Amino acid sequence: MTTAQQSRPTPDAADTVNASAAQSTSAAQSTSAARTTGAAPDDAAPAPRITLKDLVGDTAAFFRDHWAAQPAVFRASADLTGLITEQEMWEEVDCGLLIRPYFTAFDEGVRTAVSEMTRSRTVVGHQVPGYINPAQIKADFAAGGTFKFSQPEHWHPRLRALVQALAPEFRAELESFVFLSPPGKTAIAAHMDGSHVLVLQIAGVKDWVVGRLDETSTSDSDRYTGGVIPYDRRMEVTLRPGDVLYMPHGTPHSATARIGTSLHIAVTIEEPTPRDLADVFLAGLLGLPEFEALTRGHHELSLAERLTRLRALLTRTLGAADETQVLEQAVRLKAGHLG
């Protein structure tokens, strides 16, 4: 068990499609893309398994020296360039079947209006909103905007394999995001993410300014309100293909693409919050027969007696809780697997 576990470009002309035809088109494009890029079709070969060790080297040293402490840069021992390519991203755009919120476009922190980057399509006689508008996405990118995939592990086999291979190392919910940025652009001003982040540089060169954890750090995703990250409390690093940047939860950061189109994957690692843990404890309490009995008969008790019995049930629930089980349930709850 690890330390973390212990602490733990052409748009479609037609807007009307037939559902089965859409599936055939998507499959055909995937196969065509594989032949063009030299990559195997999704069902022809298993996706490469890239582990945490491939990204950071000695995992014990990573958790001991860097996890939840300070940012660090590593050189991956595995080839990251095959995880996803810019061509693949544009092929997904041209396919036209991406739907919000699996994608977004923004420039200097300002997101393109959803009404502009999406369009409705007629699918089996039904008007379905939210599909990607390829022409708008390409126009925004040409104007200097950043294009982003959100949680592509839901449909992209190699990114799904990446997330699945990393997940056992953490008691947390893992998600992936892919950023495509033109050179000379800062996608968003300094901000914090509500999770730990592993940045995998796939193509191009990107400069990062990363702050140290201090009293200005916050647990939630938010803009950095301190202005420019102080020079004495930051590190500046240039990522090239194959480089990996780790940023602890709450680390302020910003990034600017420099040479060529920058493509990077961000894997977010979101541990359960105190509220998540409290929700698990509360669910355990509400499921006790004694609590049900107290609920049925509380009219016979004074307020003081109700409080006394409830306090006793809470104390017993907290004292008897299995740490491993609570953490696992909190992670599942956060990932939306319960309820």
- In tens, the pLDDT along 237-275 reads 999 999 999 999 988 888 999 989 999 999 999 998 888
pLDDT value of position 323: 86
Separation between Cα atoms, residue 126 and residue 123, nearest integer Å: 5
Where do runs of H (alpha helix) occur along the chain? 3-7, 19-37, 52-56, 59-65, 86-95, 114-117, 134-142, 157-166, 274-286, 289-297, 303-320, 323-334
> Is the distance from CB of 195 to CB of 273 less than 8 angstroms?
no
pLDDT value of position 184: 86
Q: Is the pLDDT of residue 32 over 60?
A: no
Confidence of residue 220 (pLDDT cuts 50, 70, 90): low
pLDDT value of position 18: 38
Separation between Cα atoms, residue 185 and residue 231, nearest integer Å: 21
pLDDT value of position 318: 85
pLDDT value of position 264: 96
- Quickly tell me which residue has 């990996």 as its tokens: 244
- The average pLDDT across 68-88 equals 95
Q: Is the pLDDT of residue 17 over 80?
A: no
Separation between Cα atoms, residue 198 and residue 217, nearest integer Å: 18
How many CB atoms are closer than 10 A to CB 165?
Answer: 19
pLDDT value of position 30: 41
Where do runs of H (alpha helix) occur along 231-273? none
pLDDT value of position 46: 60
- The average pLDDT across 283-291 equals 87
> Is the distance from CB of 50 to CB of 80 less than 8 angstroms?
yes
Separation between Cα atoms, residue 144 and residue 261, nearest integer Å: 11
Helix (H, G, I), strand (E, B) or coil at 70: coil
Separation between Cα atoms, residue 131 and residue 115, nearest integer Å: 10
Weakest-pLDDT range from 35-39, 223-227, 279-283: 35-39
Burial label for 296, CB within 10 Å (0-12, 13-18, 19+), is exposed
Tokens of 142: 């040409």
What pTM did the predictor assign? 0.78
pLDDT value of position 108: 77
pLDDT value of position 276: 85
Q: Is the pLDDT of residue 337 over 90?
A: no
Weakest-pLDDT range from 94-103, 296-305, 326-335: 326-335
Higher-confidence position of 12 and 147: 147
Q: Is the pLDDT of residue 147 over 60?
A: yes
- The average pLDDT across 209-220 equals 74
Which residues, at least 6 apart from 227, have a Cβ–Cβ distance to it below 8 Å? none
Reported as a single tens digit per residue, the pLDDT across 108-117 is 778 899 999 9
Separation between Cα atoms, residue 152 and residue 103, nearest integer Å: 9
Dihedral sign of CA atoms 313, 319, 324, 330 in order = positive
Q: Is the pLDDT of residue 124 over 90?
A: yes
